[in-house]
Structure 1
C-alpha cells in the first residue's frame, strides 16, 4: 500500500461533518486538557529557560505563547507551547491495539498535534471548527502511525511522541494551511526528517523538548512545503524511510484502511492523565491512594509499601531514590511515599523542595518497586499493579488495579476534567479568565476565531 499517500488522502478528505459527535466531544475535552497543560508549566525550570530563549530570538510576532504576553513565530510558539504541554508529564496517552506493544502505550498525541495546530490556526485566522477538524486528523494520524510501528521502535530507545508526534503535527498543520495533496506528501517527508527523541532523556528537561520539537517540526515542514520545498513522497513505507529505519518495519493491518475507521478516540481510546507523572504508574497510584484514604494510613504506621508490576515497567520507572521533581515522575517509591504522606498526588507534589523533604526521603527507603510474577505472566501490554502496604502492627493491605482514572474504561467526569484544567491554568491566569477559556474550548466548534480563544490564554 502507498501508505504516505493514504495518510494524505485521509487528512485532506476529513470534514467536520464527518467526525462523529462523540469524537468531537472527546476531542474538545482533550483540547481542554492540552491547553490547560500549556499554562501549567509557567513555573517549570525547563519552560522558563525556553521562554527566555524565545524572548531573545523571536522576531516575527505571529502568534501567542500561552501564559505569557509574548508573541513569536508560529514555529517558535509551537515549540514553546508544545514543550509546556509535556513539561509536567501530565498529558494524555494513547493506548495500543498491539498485544506485543511494550507497556500497551505509545504516544502523547495531543501535545505535538495541538502545539502545531493551535499555532497555525491562529496564524491563518481559522475557526474553532477548523481547529478541531485539524486536531482530530492529526491525533488520528499520530496514533495510527505509532500503533502500526514495530515494538522495536520503543525498545531501540525512540520516544514515539517525538517521532510519530511530528507526523501527526504536520498532518494538522498541513490541513489548516490547505496544502495540496502533493505538498502534504512532501511535508510529511520533511517532518519525518526533523522528527526524533530518545528515551535516555526521560527524567530531564529534554523529554518535553521532544514533544515541543515535534510540534515545531509539523509547523516548519508544512510551511516549507507550501513554499515548494521537496522531500520523499513515500517517507513512511519506503525501504529507507521512517518505519524501516526506526522500527524494522511496521504492521500494515494496524493502519491500512483504519484511519477514522473507527477513530482512535473511539477504539481503543486515549487516556487523560490523573497524575503529573509517568502513566505506567497510574493504576498503582489510584490503588495506593484508595488504600491510604480508606484505612487512614499514616507514614509512622508503614513498615513497607510495595508496588508489584510486570518486568517491563522498571525499565521506564527507573528512579529508586529521586533527588529532583523530574526524576520523581519516574519513581514508584516516590509515588508510594508521597501518596502516604499527602494523600493526593498533584502538581504541588512534584516540586524539588517536596521531593527532597526529609520525611519523603526517609519513607522512600521503606518503599519499593518489584516484579510481581503473577502480573508479569499476563504480558507487557497490561498495566496491572499490585499495591501492598505492610503495617507495623502486622496488618497487610493489598489492592490490584488494572486501569487508572482517565482510562477509557474508567473515564474522568466533566467535573474532574475541569478541576484538572483549573489546577493547571491558574498557575498562569486568574480563575475568571480560566473559566471563560474553558467554556470556549468545550464549545470549540462555536468559536469563530481561534485568536479570540488564545487571547484568553495570555498571561
Structure 2
C-alpha cells in the first residue's frame, strides 16, 4: 500500500521531471494545501458588484465613453454580417431548424434564440478585427494580454435585453458591468495567460458576457456566482488561430457562453463558488496566478472606460499595428511621401508585439490584419487602410507584395526599454533621394491619448454600414438612439432599426 510519504516523494519527483522538461514554470509543492488562498471571497465580491450596481452608479463620463463603444460595436456587427463569416454562421444556425426567437442577428432580418444571436453578433463584431480594445495599467500587462471587451459583452446584453424586454438604462447598465468585469479580470490575471497562447477575448470575454446576462436576468448573488463559475469553465480560445476565421469565432463563442452560463444558473445548474480565486480555479489554471490588487475593491473604482480607457480602432486590424499606422499616415501626409520613392522601411517595436503580429508575408485579409508589413505597405501605396483595403484581392496584388518586401519589422532596443505597457513603434523611411524620414508613437488614434469623438465614431459607423449596404436612414436613426440610449423605453426600439 502506498504511504503518505511515498505519495509525497512521487509528487516531488514528478515535479522535478516536469520542471526539467520545461512543462511547468513554477515551483511545485506536494505539500500545497487546496484550501483557503489569498483572495478568498473574490468571486463573491465580483458577483456582489454585478448584482448591486445600479445605473445611477455609472459616472456621466463613463456613460458617454461607453456609448461610443456601444455604437462602434453595432456598426461592426452590421459590417460583419456582410462578410463570408457572417454568412457561414447564419447557415449553421439555420441548419439547427431554429426559425424564430426573441433576439435579432444584427444587420439581417433573422431572429433566433438568445444564445445563437449572441454567438452570431459576437463573431460579426470581431469579424474584421475592427472592435475596441482594453488598455493596460501595470507595467507587466502587455497590450496584447488584455481584451476586446465589446465583442463578447454587447451581444449578450442585447440578446438577453430583448428576451427580458429591457429598457435602454437596463441594457446599458448590463453592458457597462460586463465590460468592467471582463477588463478587471484581464488586469488581474498573470501575463502568462496571453503569452502562453490564450486569446483573452475568448476567455475573459465569456466571464464578462455572463456578468451582463446575469444582470439583465436579475439573478441574485448565489446564482450569479454559479453563472460566473459556469462561464469560467466554458472560457476558451487560442492565439494560434489568429489570422483565421477562428479568431472571431472566439468572440462569438464567449458571448454565447455567457448567455448559456447565466441561463443555466437561472435554471438551477450547480457550480463551484470560488471559481476565480480557487487553487484549481480560473486564475491559477489559466494564468498560473493573479494580482488580487488589480481587482479586489477595484470594480468601478475607477471604471475602466474612464481609466485607463478603452481604445476604438480607426483601422480594421490588430490594435498593435495602430501606433505605427497612425504615425506612418502622419509622416506620409507631412512629407508628401510617394510609394515609388521608398527604398526601405524599418519598423521597430518591443519584443511582445511580433508575438501577436505573426504574419510577415500574408496571403489573405485575415492574415493581413496581423501583419505590420502589410499595414505599412498599404498606407504607403494608398494612403488609407479601411475595409476596402483589407481584402484578399488587395493583399495579393503584385504592388502590395513588392512593397511588403521593403518593410523590415524588428525588435528595437529603444521600444523595448519603453516598457510593455506601451505600444512604442519607431519608423524609419529611407527614400531614393537619400533622406530618412523618422517618427515614433506610443499610442494610436482612437486611444485615450488621442480619442475619437462621438461624431468621429459615428463617421466610422456610417462607413461600416455603407460597406454592408445597410439602409442609410436606419443607420442615422441608430446613431441618434444610442446618443440618448438611457431614454429608450424598450430595447426593441433599437432592435427594429438594426434589421435590414
Pairwise TM-score range, normalised by the shorter structure: over 0.9
Provide the rounded CA distance (Å) in 2 between the counterparts of 1:2 and 1:265.
Answer: 25
Q: For 2:360 and 2:201, how far apart are their aligned partners in 1?
A: 25
Matches within 5 A, 1:301-450: 301-426=341-466, 427-450=468-491
Q: Which residue of 1 aligns with 2:49?
A: 10
Q: 2:229 aligns to what?
A: 189
Of 131-140 and 293-302, more deviation after overlay is shown by 293-302
CA contact (8 A) 2:135 2:143 kept: no
- Give the gaps of 5 or more residues in structure 2: 1-39
3-state SS in 2 of match to 1:212 = helix
- Please tell me whether the aligned partners of residues 140 and 264 of structure 1 are also in contact (alpha carbons under 8 angstroms): yes
CA contact under 8 A between 2:81 and 2:106: conserved in structure 1? no
Match among 62, 70, 80 for residue 41 of structure 1: 80
Aligned twin of 1:54: 93
1:62-77 to 2 correspondences below 5 Å: 62-77=102-117
Is the 1:190–1:221 Cα contact (8 Å) retained in structure 2? yes
CA contact (8 A) 2:144 2:356 kept: no
| Alpha-carbon separation, structure 2, partners of 1:273 and 1:215 | 20
Alignment partner of 1:333: what SS? helix
Aligned partner of 1:455 in structure 2 is: 496
Note if contact 2:145-2:186 (Cα within 8 Å) is conserved in structure 1: no
For 1:441 and 1:425, the matched residues in 2 are separated by: 15
**1:329 positional shift:** 0.3
Distance 1:454 1:43 in 2: 18
Task: Please identify the structure whose Cα radius of gyration is greater.
Answer: 2
* Correspondence list, 1:127-146, <5 A: 127-146=167-186
> Given the alignment of the two structures, is residue 279 of structure 1 paired with residue 328 of structure 2, yes or no?
no
Q: Unaligned 5+ residue runs, structure 1?
A: none
Q: What are the Cα deviations for residues 388-447 of structure 1, in whole angstroms up to 9, with x where unaligned?
A: 111111111111011111111111123211111111122141211100011101211011
1:265-305 CA distance string (max 9 Å, x none):
11111111111101011010001111112222121111011
Shift of 1:373: 1.3
Q: TM-score, normalised by structure 1?
A: 0.98
Tell me the equivalent position of 2:304: 264
Counterpart CA distance in 2 for 1:384 and 1:374 is 9
What is the rounded CA distance, in whole Å, between the counterparts of 1:366 and 1:66 in structure 2?
Answer: 41
Provide the secondary structure at the position in 1 that maps to 2:95: helix
Deviating 4+ runs (over 6 angstroms): none
**Number of aligned residue pairs:** 459
Superposed displacement of residue 382, structure 1: 1.8
Structure 1 pair 428–39 and aligned structure 2 pair: CA distance change class (3 A) = farther
RMSD: 1.1
Question: In structure 1, what is the equivalent of residue 340 of structure 2?
Answer: 300
Report deviation, 1:184.
Answer: 0.7
Cα deviations across residues 318-368 of structure 1 (Å, max 9, x unaligned)?
Answer: 111111000000111101110011101111110110111111111111112
TM-score (norm 2): 0.90
